[in-house]
Amino acid sequence: MHHAFTLSGETLHALPSGALYWPAARLLCVSDLHLGKSERLARRGGALLPPYETRETLHRLEAEIDRTAPATVICLGDSFDDLAAVRGLEEEARLRLARLMAGRAWTWIEGNHDAGPVEIGGTHRAQMTLGPLTFRHIADKGETAEVSGHYHPKLRLKGAARPCFLLDADRLILPAFGLYTGGLSADDPALAALLHPPALAILTGPRALPVPLPVR
C-alpha cells in the first residue's frame, strides 16, 4: 500500500502512515513527532488536551518499526514539542523509546522546536547525509537530493484534508507523524516556492495515494 518513487537515483517508499522507508539502506524516517505537546501546552497555560498523544504516536512508530525492521531510524526534527518536553516524558514513554532504539542506529535531527541535544539516547545532529541524500528539518531552497519536514503539509481532495508527502525532482517533504499536529496546505506559497513541476502530493491514509500537485 506504499508508493514507490526515486529521488537522486534511490528508490524510496512513502508509507500510508506518513513514514518514509529506504529499502536499500534499511532506513526508516519520520518527521515532526512533537512528543509531549499536551504537556507543553498545559505547562504554558494553553489548551488542555487529553495527554495521550505521546503514547499513540509511539504506538504508530512502533508499528512501522515492526513492519520494516530498519537498521537505521532518523527522526527529522521537532521530535519533541520543546526541550522541556523531553524531561517531562513519562517513564513508560522513555522505556518504550529505549526499546525502539535498542540495536539500531538512531538519529535525532535538530528541529526548530527541539534545537539542542536530547538526553534520551541516540545521536543528535543538525543534519545528516547518507549516500546521495541529505536529511534536515527545514528545506533549503538551494539544495537538491534533500529530505525534510517542518511544514506538516496537507491536501484536501474530498472531505477532510489529509497529511501528505510533497515530492519533486529535487526534494521530498514529509508530513508530520505526530498525533497532535496541525498542517499547512500543500498549495501555500511557502511550499509552492520550494517545489518545481512536475510535483506530486502523496496522501497518507489507508494507502499512499499520489496526485499531481499544481505548482507555480
User: Which of 9-18, 61-70, 135-144, 206-215 has the weakest average pLDDT?
Assistant: 206-215
Q: Which three cell numbers stand for residue 44?
A: 504554558
pTM for the full predicted model: 0.91
Q: Is 46 helix (H, G, I), strand (E, B) or coil?
A: coil
Q: Please give the domain boundaries of the chain with CATH numbers for all domains.
A: 3-213 (3.60.21)
Of the candidates 56, 68, 3, 59, the residue with the CA atom closest to the CA atom of residue 29: 68
Angle between helices 53-68 and 91-101 (to 10 degrees): 10
**Structure-model confidence comparison of residues 208 and 50, the more confident one:** 208
Instruction: Convert the pLDDT of each residue in 129-187 to its tens digit.
Output: 999 999 999 999 999 999 999 999 999 988 889 999 999 999 999 999 987 667 899 99
Q: What are phi and psi of 173, to 5 degrees?
A: -115, 125
Strand partners, 184: 153
Q: How far apart are CA 163 and CA 28, in angstroms?
A: 18
Q: What is the DSSP letter of 176?
A: P
pLDDT value at 199 more than 60 = yes
Q: Which three cell numbers stand for residue 118?
A: 536530547
